[in-house]
Amino acid sequence: MSDDFHAFRDVPKTGVIYVTSEATKLGFSSTAPDWCNLGQGQPETGELPGAPERIHDITIAADDQEYAPVAGLGELREAVAALYNRLYRKGLASQYTAENVCISGGGRAALTRAAASLGSINLGHFLPDYTAYEELLDIFKAFTSIPILLEGDRGYSFTAEDLRREITGRGLSALLLSNPCNPTGKLVDGLESSSAERPRPRISRRRSSAACWRTQPPSRARA
């Protein structure tokens, strides 16, 4: 393509997509015995002793081959809400329903939907954080992105007082975060996530939180 043609821009590869792409140039493939992908939920192990039987094929009814509802199938959304209530909201007055759930074909597509719904607000986001956020914040112009630098010598901590200062001092209306944070591994949990005056909405990308190791039981968040 000519350098004089400017209808399209170069879209950078980030995170595991960049690493996988560069590894492929050096001989990586999913079948190569001398390579192992440690990202994207890998490595694939095949059948495991005592594990449920793998599903290799399914039958799809003719009606199910039409477009699905934009927010996802109602039954699936209800199941996701029930799972989150069981894992994170046990004993709390407010419980999630299907109305709180949207099903999307991937994290970036879900983030794009959420960002497209935001109005003219100040959106806080952490540095460092998930690499896909950088592209997301550059593309959408309706909101103003407010970077919040987290200090490594503080363990990338972000306390309730820090959040209150950002809301009152810089007028945050929403906060974008991954939890646990990718790439620092910092987990916002219990008191740290519940005792602050939180901005609404809060866009949170929860990553495998049910598998987090803790030295003590987490505090229950307020309803």
Task: Give the CA distances from residue 18 to residues 12, 21, 55, 134, in Å, rounded to whole numbers and listed in that order.
Answer: 8, 5, 30, 14
Distance separating alpha carbons of residues 130 and 120, to the nearest angstrom: 23
Contact criterion met (CB below 8 Å) for 107 and 205 = yes
Q: Where in the chain is the domain with CATH 3.40.640.10?
A: 107-208
Residue 203: the pLDDT is: 59
pTM of the model: 0.67
Termini Cα distance of the chain: 55
Distance separating alpha carbons of residues 112 and 133, to the nearest angstrom: 10
Tokens of 178: 């991954």
Q: What is the mean pLDDT of each run of 10 residues along the chain (223 residues)?
A: 70 82 92 83 80 90 88 94 92 94 86 88 89 80 90 87 90 86 77 46 54 53 40
Residue 186: the pLDDT is: 83
Contact criterion met (CB below 8 Å) for 15 and 130 = yes
Q: Domain 107-208's class?
A: alpha beta
